[in-house]
Every structure is written in structure tokens, then in C-alpha cells.
Copies of this chain bind each other. A is one copy, B any other.
Amino acid sequence: MPHSTDALSRFYAVIPAGGIGSRLWPLSRADAPKFLHDLTGSGHTLLRDTWDRLAPLAGEQRIMVVTGRAHRAAVEAQLPELADANVVLESEPRESTAAIGLAAAILNKREPGVIIGSFAADHVIKNSTVFRDAVRQAVAAADSGQIVTLGIRPTEPAIGFGYIKTGEALTIEGAPSALAVESFVEKPDLATAKMYVSSGQYLWNAGMFIARADRLLEEIGASEPTLLAGLLELADAWDTPERGIVVDRVWPNLKKIAIDYTVAEPAAAAGKLAVVPGQFDWDDVGDFASIAKIHSGGRKRDLAILGEGARVLADSSSGIVVSHTKRMIALIGVEDIVVVDTPDALLVTTSANAQRVKAVVDALKLSGSTDVL
């Protein structure tokens, strides 16, 4: 069994920075996706916070970002330390297996034996120290050949997250907390979520995966051999003058499929998936209700106000106002309200309806109102 200190020196962090975050419209847009916003009041974008969380672990020369061509300039402005060789640009979005798989293939070619960890650019994590300790254990576990995920100890019976059902404790050097994963379960209803939490057996699935790149590619190949062949072809050409031609030919034809289906679920079913439980605060900031919760520090009776120079006059004691226009915003007698004020679009809804914001984006697409998407 290899030494875990060696393992960490072979660690490479991958940040897939894709996804517009339709449930955060009109804040998140095609040209200003969720990861380019400061949704926590930290003063930094979610992408920058993700980088700052990973750099102490991987080193800033060992963080790769996979993003859309359209976002290259914005990403590089946020991450001036990002090396050119660590920028992977997608000509069009092809889902997470292609994005993470391409990073794995490129890095494995450059550096056989590399261990990669994939961390979304648009999640919120407090307690970075605890997070990094969990990642260190996950890296050690990954080095033993496991596909490893981080699972978050639930603090409430959330119905907006998927859950991981844990099995027996594993005995892996450097990963004392690692457990076997029995299965992944979809977002539950409230009664089921309560049962999950009280059982102590379930963790939130934060969608973070850590694995040896070769093992990850092996899993992809087992599920989707054609997709793997495409990824390897891309990786072979990546650091050559052929990159552009091969990308134009291969990338648009890759199957669009989430890594949950190609890697996580098959590996769990085969007993090759481990989870390291983490006690850190995590949120995928999936909708405005989630942002409101982050800002109120869990207190339900606070109106959260985001936006530099926001002018808000309100008697509301709950909900959230996002102000990107410096207009005076007056709220009277509205509770659990969500108001998002941007120069060309305004959203008014409630916390309870926050998940339905995506439907607006769908309707705007259908109606051809692409100017505000």
C-alpha cells in the first residue's frame, strides 16, 4: 500500500466551472453564471473561494479549471494564478463525465498515477480546514484504488439534496474515517429525509469525487467505452498542435451524461466506492432560498440583503433581496419574499417557490426572450 504523503504530492484539483445556475436567474446568466458571483458576502466569487480552498492542498500550479470558451476571460480574471496549461475550454457543454473525464485523461497522460479531485466551482463551504482534512483522507483512500466521494453530515432533513447510504468502516491507511458506500439515493421527501438523518447512516451527496485518474477512466470505460475512447483521443492530441482540429471533431460528439451514472453509481454497486464523511458546512446554493439561509446564518427571521450599495426599505423579516441596480427597493408586508433586481430583469417570488425559478428560464427560452438569459 502506498504512503499517503506520497499520494497527496500526486494530487491535482479539478474545478469544473460550468452550469449557469438557472434557479438563480436573473442573477445567474449565460454570460454571468453562478460561479462568477459572490453569493455568500465573502467579497469573492464562488469560483475564487473554491480556488482559495483548494490551493493550500494542491498548490496553485496543480489546479485545473474546465470551463466554457465564453467564460475564459472572466475565469482568468478571477484566477490570475491559473496556469495556461491548466485551462481546459469546452467549445460547448457536454455534461460532467466529458468535463471531468477529459481533465483526468489529460492529467493522466501528463503524469501517470495522478490522483484527481473534482470540486464544483459554485458550492459554498465553511470550515475550510475541516474540508481539507476530509480531502486528505479521500486522497489517501483514492490511492488505494477506490473511487472516493465526500459526504456531508446532515444538519437537517434537507429535501433538496441527494443522500449517500453508508456501509461498513473501511481500514485504509491515512483515511481513518472512510466508509463503504452502499448506494446513492435521490432527493427524498421530508419524512424519508427525517428517517435518513435520525438513522445516522446517511450523508448528503455533495458531488465531489476523488480518484486516481486511471481508475476514473477505467470506470468511465466500463460504462461508456465510446466516450472513453473520445476522451483518450482528445488527451493524446491535447498538448500537441493537433488539439484544435481534434477538439472540433471529437468534443461535439461525446455523449452527454453525468458522472453519477458513469462512475459513482456503478462503482457503488460494485463495492468500489468509498466515502469520507465531513463535518463542514456545505451548500450547493441551488436556489435563492438557500442563499437566504446562508446569509441569515440559519436564523429564519432575517431578511438577507445582497448587493453592493443596496438600498432596501423593508418591514419584511424573512426572505432575500439581491440588488444589482442601486435602485431604492421598498418591501411592505411581504414575508419569505425573494426579490432579485438586475438592470434588465426583475424576479419576485417566495422562498417556497425558489426551486421553480428554472421554469422561468425555460419559459423565456421558449418565448424567444434570449436577451435576458
Report Cα–Cα, A364/B314, bound state, in Å: 11
In angstroms, how far is the closest chain B Cβ from the Cβ of A21?
15
A348 within 8 A of B: yes
* Chain B residue nearest to A357 in the complex (CB): B332
Given contacts A313-B360, A313-B364, A363-B313, contact A347 B330 (CB under 8 A): yes
Copies of this chain, tallied across the complex: 2
Is residue A187 within 8 Å, beta carbon to beta carbon, of the partner chain? Answer: no
Q: Is A311 part of the contact surface with B, judged by Cβ < 8 Å? A: yes
Is A352 among interface residues, defined by CB-CB distance under 8 A?
yes
Q: Would you give the shortest CB distance from A365 to chain B, in whole angstroms?
A: 11
A333 at the interface (CB under 8 A from B): yes
A330 to chain B, nearest CB (A): 5
Majority secondary structure, A binding face: mixed
| A130-183 contacts to B (CB < 8 Å) | none
Shortest CB-to-CB span from A142 to chain B, Å, is 42
Please choose the segment from A31-39, A102-110, A212-220, A338-346 that sits at the chain B interface, where 4 or more of its residues have CB less than 8 A away: A338-346
Chain B residues positioned under 8 Å from A337 (CB to CB): 334, 348
A356 to B331, CA, bound (A): 11
> Which of B313, B332, B356 lies in contact with A332, CB distance below 8 A?
B356
A304 to chain B, nearest CB (A): 15
Complex CA–CA separation, A341 to B350 (angstroms): 18
Contacts of A348 in B (CB 8 A): 329-332, 334, 337, 339, 348
| Complexed CA–CA distance, A337 and B344 (Å) | 20
Alpha-carbon distance between A350 and B330 when the two chains are bound, in angstroms: 12
Q: Tell me the count of chain A residues lying within 8 A, CB to CB, of chain B.
A: 34
- Cβ of A64 to closest chain B Cβ, rounded Å: 36
Q: A61 contacts which chain B residues (CB < 8 A)?
A: none
* Residue numbers in B under 8 Å from A277 (CB-CB): none
Could you tell me if A333 and B360 are in contact, using CB atoms closer than 8 angstroms? no
Q: Which of A229-252 contact B (CB under 8 A)?
A: none
Q: Contact between B328 and A372 (Cβ–Cβ < 8 Å)? A: yes
User: Which residues from B are CB-within-8-Å of A55?
Assistant: none
Tell me the smallest distance from the CB of A215 to a CB of chain B, in Å: 43
A330 in complex: contacting residue of B327, B329, B346, CB < 8 Å: B346
A-B contact pairs, 27 of them (CB 8 A): A26-B330, A311-B369, A313-B369, A327-B345, A327-B346, A328-B344, A328-B345, A329-B345, A329-B346, A330-B345, A330-B347, A330-B348, A330-B349, A330-B357, A330-B364, A332-B348, A332-B349, A332-B353, A332-B356, A332-B359, A333-B349, A333-B350, A333-B352, A334-B337, A334-B348, A339-B346, A339-B348
Query: Known contacts A330-B357, A331-B348; can you find 12 more A-B pairs with CB under 8 A?
Result: A25-B330, A313-B360, A313-B364, A328-B369, A329-B348, A330-B347, A330-B360, A330-B364, A333-B353, A334-B337, A339-B346, A341-B346
Spell out A's residues near B (CB within 8 Å): 25-26, 311, 313, 327-334, 337, 339, 341, 343-350, 352-353, 356-357, 359-360, 363-364, 367, 369, 372
